[in-house]
A and B are shown apart, each in its own frame.
Chain A
Amino acid sequence: DSGVTQTPKHLITATGQRVTLRCSPRSGDLSVYWYQQSLDQGLQFLIQYYNGEERAKGNILERFSAQQFPDLHSELNLSSLELGDSALYFCASSTHFQGGQTQYFGPGTRLLVL
């Protein structure tokens, strides 16, 4: 158990809908990262937040957005969902924002768009 929690574990929705994924980092970690893992793309970095501020952006679509709240939990919002958005979404956390910090991953949210 990494100490990172994610909810829900599974999510089934329809194309065009909007969903919100939630992540709570390990106790004491200020930085949160979101990743998408699909069969054909592997693990892809989406976005990083540190202490409430966006720090880095990866291959995140404009239909996706995220935020980190004062209690440090983070939410990833996915809108206008398409079939291709079906994937595992992972949250990870680390102590600081500097690159090279070990990231600890949560159990993931499996999203299925029908």
Chain B
Amino acid sequence: EDQVTQSPEALRLQEGESSSLNCSYTVSGLRGLFWYRQDPGKGPEFLFTLYSAGEEKEKERLKATLTKKESFLHITAPKPEDSATYLCAGYFSGSARQLTFGSGTQLTVLP
């Protein structure tokens, strides 16, 4: 079964304290890796799509990278408004053929 695992479950940072969130996945058949941000009670907001190992994408203080086994979401000098749950999802070839979401990392940035 295709699985996507995110760590840590929760992360508290001081404003300006850079860190990374991890998303590991079933190695076989990954066709795309997606990152979303979700605020409480809101719909997931699309951030990045990565398709191949070595690919990197950036948006403001966020940078997503992809290796053959995992993806990282690097947050540089975070601000309190970056506080949210970050979800990653994988699209795998095979029977499911739909996005499989991880359980998310709840990020809190303290002022």
Which A residues are closer than 8 A to B by beta carbons?
A: 2, 4, 33, 42-45, 48, 56, 58, 88, 90, 99-100, 102-108, 110
Main secondary structure of the interface of A (DSSP, over half): strand
Set of chain B residues within 8 Å of A58, measured between Cβ atoms: 96, 98
B54 contacts the other chain (Cβ, under 8 Å)? no
Task: List residues 84-111 of chain B with CB under 8 A from any CB of chain A.
Answer: 87, 89, 91, 93, 96-104
**Residues of the B chain whose Cβ atoms lie less than 8 Å from the Cβ of A44:** 101
Using CB atoms and an 8 Å cutoff, list the residues of chain B in contact with chain A: 31-32, 34, 36, 41-46, 49, 51, 87, 89, 91, 93, 96-104
Contact A107 B98 (CB under 8 A): no
Q: Which residues of A contact B103 (CB under 8 A)?
A: 42
Give the A-B contact count at a CB cut-off of 8 A: 55
Quote the shortest CB–CB distance from A108 to chain B (angstroms).
5
Q: Report whether A2 and B104 are in contact in the complex, using a CB–CB cutoff of 8 Å.
A: no
Other 12 A-B pairs with CB < 8 A, given A2-B43, A99-B97, A105-B46: A2-B45, A4-B43, A42-B104, A45-B98, A90-B43, A102-B49, A103-B46, A105-B36, A105-B43, A105-B44, A105-B45, A107-B43
